[in-house]
Amino acid sequence: MLQKLGKVLALFSPEQPELSVREIARVFRWPKSTAYRILSRIEASGFLDRDETSGAYRLGIRLAAYGELARHSTSLQRVVSPWLRRLSDATSETATLMLFNGIEGVTVDVVESFQPLMLPGLLGGSMPLHATAGGKALLAWAPPGRQSTFMQRPLPRYTPTTITDVTELMRELEKSRKRGYTTVNGERVEDVYGVAAPIFDHRGDVSAALTVGGPRRRVTAKWELMAAAVLEASAAVSAALGYHARAPVAAARPARIARQTPSGVKRAAVATHHTNGRSTATGPGHANDSAHSNGHVSAAAARRAKREITGPPRPVAARARADTADALGSVRRRRGRA
């Protein structure tokens, strides 16, 4: 059936956007009844639409949605790919890129952890928005209309910790916007914890998120480090996509992932948190009291982005606690000087 689907779809072109059952049957030398049965099945899947008046078929809107998703993910993945690797290396956990797709998130790129208890089967998988860190990031920074549409649907429970109450989920998303990142605590798969941050495009829209996660026993000791790393990576990718600050703010020094910055990609400060209107300048793990910000990369971070930082990567897995202390210590010193 997949071969037939491909052959049928290949018949359509800008010069020939519509075809009748008779025309398609003639090309493949199918009996008309066979052609009608095959085309009806393709129509039912959403890949073809049938004009009720003429009976002619044209490409379905579902293909347009997939085409836009493919176009977006292909260009985005080129920018994100080196940062996914850095994110996984810096935390020794699995890093993923999730895109918004209707009422779900879809994982389009994965760098798996080298450690035991990997999370297989992520690539290409559809993920519930309310029960994954990446999904929550897509929801938290979504336009109000998209949020309200999603909240009208039932929220399925996957584990005992899944949030199924709309009011509770809205509170969780508001807290996430203030601190700049989302978390998941075994809400889709028990014992799997993670952190995610949104990726902003040049218009300030969010349709993608970076996530890093792993088993609870491994990640709890480096929670702050993971938050700092994913914020650093998402801010850098956003800057590379043309997302810029609107107002200068102070920013804390980035975490260890900054020492492995890929060439040609702008760096942005970990402390430049994505909220719902302007930048905030807090350390990882600390919520900012300004609830109205929009995750803009700070001017200070943009200036630092011009200086390329090189050097061998630090083995973070063995020194996660020390790295976390370094990142938080830097934030506290800056607060002290303020």
Residue range 98-126: mean pLDDT, rounded? 77
Whether residue 102 is found in the same domain as residue 230: yes
Residue 77 pLDDT grade (very low, low, confident, very high; cuts 50, 70, 90)? confident
In CATH, what number is assigned to the domain containing residue 259?
A: 3.30.450.40
Residues 140 and 222 in one domain: yes
Q: How many CB atoms lie within 10 A of CB 149?
A: 12
Please tell me the distance from the alpha carbon of residue 82 to that of residue 261, in angstroms, as a whole number.
9
Residues 54 and 100 in one domain: no
pLDDT > 70 in the chain, percent: 67
Domain harbouring 43, CATH code = 1.10.10.10
Higher-confidence position of 189 and 257: 189
55 plus 133 within the same structural domain: no
Question: Is residue 57 classed as helix, strand or coil in its secondary structure?
Answer: strand
CA dist., res. 231 & res. 136, Å (int): 15
Residue 72: pLDDT band (50, 70, 90) is low
Q: What is the mean pLDDT of residues 104-114?
A: 86
| Domains in the chain, number | 2
Domain-terminating residue out of 59, 77, 100: 59
DSSP symbol at 93: S
**Per-residue pLDDT at 326:** 53
Name the residue among 231, 225, 232, 226 with its Cα closest to residue 258: 232
- According to the model, what pLDDT value does residue 71 have? 56
Mean pLDDT of 33-39: 91
Tell me the whole-structure pTM to 2 decimals: 0.55
Same domain? 129 vs 173: yes
Say whether both 173 and 215 belong to one domain: yes
C-alpha to C-alpha distance for 236 and 200, rounded to whole angstroms: 10
The pLDDT of residue 1: 72
User: Region 185-209: what's the mean pLDDT?
Assistant: 91
Percentage of the chain beyond pLDDT 90 is: 35
Q: Judge if 6 and 98 occupy the same domain.
A: no
Question: pLDDT tens across 228-273, in order?
Answer: 999 999 999 999 888 875 433 323 333 444 333 333 333 333 344 4
Domain that holds residue 209: 66-337
pLDDT in tens, 282-316: 333 333 333 334 444 344 443 443 333 233 334 43
Three-point CA angle 10, 16, 20, nearest 5°: 85
Report pLDDT digits (tens) over 149-179.
889 888 999 999 999 999 999 999 999 999 9
Token pair, residue 72, equals 């977006």
Q: Within this chain, do residues 177 and 300 fall inside the same structural domain, yes or no?
A: yes
Task: Give the domain-ending residue among 24, 40, 59.
Answer: 59
| Tokens representing residue 303 in the block | 């200036």
Is there a single domain that holds both residue 238 and residue 310? yes
Could you give the CA distance from residue 33 to residue 44 in angstroms, rounded to a whole number? 17
Q: Which of 24, 41, 59 is the last residue of a domain?
A: 59
**Mean pLDDT value of segment 117-135:** 77
Considering the domain architecture, whether residues 124 and 191 belong to the same structural domain is answered as yes
Strands 280-281 and 182-185: unpaired
Do 14 and 102 lie in a common domain?
A: no
Q: Quick: pLDDT tens for 127-136.
A: 899 999 999 9
- Are residues 164 and 89 both part of a single domain? yes
User: What average pLDDT does the segment 93-115 reach?
Assistant: 87
Beta strands in 63-181 (DSSP E): 94-101, 104-111, 126-128
Q: Which candidate, 219, 80, 195, 83, places its Cα nearest to that of 135?
A: 195
